[in-house]
Structure 1
Amino acid sequence: MTLRAKINESLKDAMKSRAKARLSTLRLVNAAIKDMDIAMRGDGNEAGATDADVLQILSKMVKQRQESARTYEEGGRLDLAESELKEITVIEEFLPQKLSDDEIAKAIDAVVKEVGASSIRDMGKVMGGLKAKYTGQMDFGQVGPMVKDRLNQ
C-alpha cells in the first residue's frame, strides 16, 4: 500500500470516528500532496507525487509545525502550541521511524564510502545520497554538521 493510500484510509477512519482534529490534519496533508501533484503536472510529470515526494512533504509539514509551536510558546499561546504538537503526532504516524545518533553516524559513513567523498567539497554529494536514502528518517539540519565533521577528519 502506498503512503498516499495509507493517508486516505486514515482520513476515512477519522471521518467515521468523528475525530475532528485528526481529520483536519489529514485534510491538510492531502491538500499539500494535491498541490504537489498540480505543480508536477505543470512541469510535465503526469505520474504525480511519489512516496519519496510525500515523505518530503510530511517532513516539511512537521518542521513548519515545530517552528510554529516554538513561536507560540515564546508568545505565551500554549493552547496554539499544543494544537501544533497534536498535528505533529498525526503527521509523524506516516513518517518512517527516526534513526538514532549511532545509526545516523553509520549511514553517513556508508554514504561517504559509497560516493568516495574525501573532503568538505564532497559534502553536497554526501547530503544528496543521504536525502535519497533516508528522507523522513533524519533531520538534515542536524545531520549537516555531522557530515561536515566527518569530512574534516
Structure 2
Amino acid sequence: MSLEHQLREDLTAAMRARDELTTATLRMTLTAVQTEAVSGRTARELSDAEVLQVLTREAKKRREAAEAFDAASRTELAERERAEGGVLARYLPTPLSDDEVAGLVREAIAELGVSGMGAMGQVMKAVTPRTTGRADGGRVSAEVRRQLAS
C-alpha cells in the first residue's frame, strides 16, 4: 500500500471518528501532496519517497510555526501546530539521534578520506541521502562542520 493511499485511508477513519485535528492535518497534507503531483509540465503520481519529502516539509513548517507562535506568546496556536506535527510524525521514519548523525558523518569522512572545511560540500553530498527525512539538514551540517574543524 502506498503512503498516499495510507494517508487517504487514515483521513477517512479520522472523519468517521470525528477527530478534527487529524482530519484537518491530513487534509492539508494531502492537498500539499496533490499540489506537488500536479506541479510541473504534467500531472503524475508521486512515489512514496516524494510523498515522504512532502510530509517532511509539512512537519518542518509546523515546527517553525510553533516556534514563531511561542516567540509571539501565542501558546494556544503553538500547541495546535505541535499537535499537527505529532499527527505527521506518525508517517515519518524515526529521527536519527545526535550520536547516529555523528556516526554517519564520521563514516562519510572516512570513506572520502577528506579533512578541512574545504571538503564540507563533498561530505554533505555523501551524508544527505543517508539522513533524508530522518535528520534536519541544519543539524547534519553543524555536525559536518564540527567534525571537519577538529
- The TM-score range, normalised by the shorter chain, is 0.7 to 0.9
Contact 1:120 1:152 in 2 (8 A): yes
- Residue aligning to 1:134: 131
- Residue aligning to 1:72: 69
TM-score in terms of structure 2 length: 0.87
For 1:52 and 1:132, the matched residues in 2 are separated by 12
Matched, 1:148 2:148: no
**Alignment size in residue pairs:** 150
Which consecutive residues of structure 1, in runs of 5 or more, have no partner in the other structure? none
For 1:117 and 1:11, the matched residues in 2 are separated by 48
Query: How far is the alpha carbon of 1:104 from its aligned partner?
Result: 1.0
For 1:18 and 1:139, the matched residues in 2 are separated by 33
- Residue aligning to 1:84: 81
- Residue aligning to 2:109: 112
User: What do you get for the CA RMSD once the two structures are aligned?
Assistant: 1.9
AA at the equivalent of 1:132:
P
Contact 1:123 1:148 in 2 (8 A): yes
Give SS of 2:94's match.
coil
Matched, 1:20 2:20: yes
Segment of structure 1 superposing worse, 87-96 or 116-125: 116-125
For 1:119 and 1:64, the matched residues in 2 are separated by 33
> Quick one: which of 56, 59, 69 aligns to 1:59?
56
Query: How far is the alpha carbon of 1:109 from its aligned partner?
Result: 1.8
TM-score in terms of structure 1 length: 0.86
Q: Structure 1 residues 114 and 58, CA, compared in 2 at 3 Å: closer, same or farther?
A: farther
For 1:125 and 1:50, the matched residues in 2 are separated by 27
Contact 1:3 1:51 in 2 (8 A): yes
Contact 1:117 1:123 in 2 (8 A): no
Query: How far is the alpha carbon of 1:139 from its aligned partner?
Result: 1.3
For 1:119 and 1:7, the matched residues in 2 are separated by 44
AA at the equivalent of 1:33:
V
Query: How far is the alpha carbon of 1:145 from its aligned partner?
Result: 1.3
Query: How far is the alpha carbon of 1:47 from its aligned partner?
Result: 4.7
Query: How far is the alpha carbon of 1:116 from its aligned partner?
Result: 4.5
Matched, 1:125 2:133: no
For 2:130 and 2:8, the matched residues in 1 are separated by 25
AA at the equivalent of 1:21:
L
